[in-house]
């Protein structure tokens, strides 16, 4: 018997479930939320609902899996202090850039200057490359990326980080891959190919400067839009292991969307950034990495690691603090994780996740685990 839409949504929290028409991509990626592509991104509107439902301005919100910084950005706009932790150096860089306080006019002048400086170098490939970079970029594209990297290093520390994010975003687009496979390309593409995205023959990218120019403009625009919303509340970003990190202050609440077991390799997702920027690679400390698979041993390790993360968090939360965890717990792992962490489940809220693309058919749901620290 067919299930009606009303029956389908009877058990679903509609305030946390949106259709594409209700919540188009332009809203999901507003201002700094789309400063750089990122797989597994938390929807900012979810965090906004949680903040207004369960917290007050002046609270301090902790996210042990800061990722691309969604919780920290939304907490700041809401008027709460925020602290985030992530094992990925790139994630921390991106989150710091999103949440920092800039003089946007001065920032734009600095970034335009870096572009001019890089251009004046004439695609000079000075500075070290790596075998990985040599393999994945055409000579001109790599020379332009390295020239911009050198120019960015002459900027002040805060502006240098913004230039690094622009460089990373341009590097993602300038790789020798097809236009329709930017997430996890397997091998470099060096010859013309039939493009599934454009439905014609395309050629691999040979240059990077056009991306550097485009993303400089887009980055300044997005940071300027966020600056109009940004509050003066504190934002702390910690490059650390959430199992052992010590927070600078006790938090009054926690909002997070943890990695799912065996789904995404978060370091490999941004390999180009690690290669270009020389970031510290701690992929061996990732929890639930795709490379570990989803076998019994991997799931056991995931439960142990997540239990350690939340137990460590509970020890640094105010007594009775609210903890919200957004998960697709298809393996029913979280009852054990919550029990071992010292968290008491108060409510399990189901939300419908709109697939938003015909290539991914079928219904998909997430649970919001509303907990209290015991």
CATH number of the domain that 331 lies in? 3.40.50.150
Q: To the nearest whole number, what is the mean pLDDT of the chain?
A: 90
Q: How confident is the model at residue 13 (pLDDT cuts 50, 70, 90)?
A: low
- What integer is the mean pLDDT of 19-48? 86
Same domain, 93 and 124: no
Instruction: Answer yes or no: do 163 and 17 share one domain.
Output: no
Q: Could you tell me if 110 and 190 lie in one domain?
A: yes
The predicted pLDDT at position 218 comes to: 98
Q: Is residue 328 one of the residues assigned to a domain?
A: yes
* Placement of tokens 């913004």 in the chain: 162
What contacts 24+ positions apart, CB below 8 Å, involve 294-299?
A: 294/261, 294/262, 294/331, 298/261, 298/262, 299/261, 299/331, 299/333
113 pLDDT more than 70: yes
Q: Can you give the pLDDT at residue 3?
A: 46
Task: Assess whether 186 and 253 both reside in one domain.
Answer: no
Domain identity same for 109 and 34:
no
Q: What is the pLDDT of residue 163?
A: 98
CA 356 to chain centre: 19
In this structure, are 86 and 147 located in the same domain?
no
Domain ranges, residue 220: 104-227
Mean pLDDT value of segment 1-6: 49
pTM above 0.85, yes or no: yes
Contacts of 339 (CB under 8 A, 6+ apart): none
* Domain tally, the chain: 2
Let me know if residue 277 belongs to a domain.
Answer: no
Q: 317 near 253, Cβ under 8 Å?
A: yes
Dihedral, CA of residue 216, residue 221, residue 222 and residue 224, to nearest 10:
120
Comparison of pLDDT for 126 and 35, the residue scoring more = 35
pLDDT for res 121: 82
Band of pLDDT at residue 72, cut at 50, 70 and 90? very high
Percent of the chain with pLDDT over 70: 91
Residue 1: pLDDT band with limits 50, 70, 90? very low
Residue 280 lies in a domain: no
Same structural domain for residues 18 and 145?
no
Confidence band for 124, pLDDT divided at 50, 70 and 90: low
Q: Are residues 238 and 223 in the same domain?
A: no
Residue 352 has pLDDT above 70, yes or no: yes
Q: Does residue 297 lie in a domain region?
A: yes
Q: What is the pLDDT of residue 357?
A: 41
Using N-to-C axis directions, what is the helix angle for 334-341 and 296-314, rounded to 10°? 40
Residue 275 counted as domain residue: no
Do residues 350 and 367 touch, judged by C-beta distance below 8 A? yes
pLDDT of amino acid 180 = 80
- pLDDT surpassing 80 at residue 126: no
Residue at 274 is within a domain: no
pLDDT digits (tens, 9 = 90+) for 203-236: 999 999 999 999 999 999 999 999 999 999 999 9
| pLDDT value of position 84 | 98
- Which residues neighbour 191 within 8 Å (Cβ) at sequence distance 6 or greater? 204
Strands 81-86 and 193-195, sheet pairing: unpaired
Give the lowest-confidence range in 126-130, 319-323, 344-348.
Answer: 126-130
**In the predicted model, what is the mean pLDDT of residues 188-217?**
92
């Amino acid at each position: 018997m067919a299930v009606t839409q009303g029956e389908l949504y009877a058990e679903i929290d509609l305030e946390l479930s949106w259709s594409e028409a209700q919540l188009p991509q332009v809203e999901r990626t507003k201002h700094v939320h789309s400063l750089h592509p990122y797989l597994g991104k938390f929807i900012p509107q979810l965090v906004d609902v949680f903040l207004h439902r369960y917290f007050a301005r002046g609270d301090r919100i902790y996210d042990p899996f800061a990722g691309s910084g969604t919780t920290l950005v939304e907490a700041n706009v809401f008027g709460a202090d925020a602290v985030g932790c992530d094992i990925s150096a790139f994630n921390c860089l991106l989150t710091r850039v999103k949440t920092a306080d800039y003089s946007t006019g001065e920032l734009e002048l600095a970034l335009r200057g870096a572009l001019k400086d890089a251009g004046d170098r004439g695609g000079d490939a000075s500075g070290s490359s790596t075998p990985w970079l040599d393999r994945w970029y055409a000579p001109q594209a790599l020379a332009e990326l390295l020239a911009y990297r050198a120019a960015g290093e002459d900027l002040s520390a805060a502006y240098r980080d913004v230039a690094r994010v622009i460089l990373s975003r341009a590097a993602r687009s300038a790789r020798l891959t097809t236009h329709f496979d930017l997430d996890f390309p397997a091998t470099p593409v060096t010859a013309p190919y039939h493009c599934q995205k454009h439905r014609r023959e395309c050629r691999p990218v040979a240059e990077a400067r056009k991306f550097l120019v485009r993303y400089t403009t887009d980055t300044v625009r997005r940071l300027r839009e966020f600056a109009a919303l940004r509050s003066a509340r504190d934002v702390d970003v910690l490059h650390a292991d959430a199992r052992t990190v010590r927070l600078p202050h006790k938090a009054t609440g926690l909002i997070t969307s943890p990695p799912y077991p065996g789904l995404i390799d978060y370091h490999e997702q941004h390999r180009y950034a690690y290669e270009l920027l020389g970031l510290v690679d701690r992929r061996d400390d990732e929890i639930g990495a795709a490379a570990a698979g989803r076998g019994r041993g991997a799931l056991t390790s995931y439960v142990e690691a997540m239990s350690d993360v939340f137990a460590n968090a509970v020890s640094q939360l105010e007594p009775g603090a609210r903890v919200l965890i957004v998960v697709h717990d298809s393996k029913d792992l979280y009852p054990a994780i919550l029990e071992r962490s010292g968290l008491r489940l108060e409510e399990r809220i189901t939300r419908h996740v709109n697939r938003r693309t015909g290539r991914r058919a079928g219904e998909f749901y997430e649970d919001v685990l509303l907990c209290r620290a015991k």
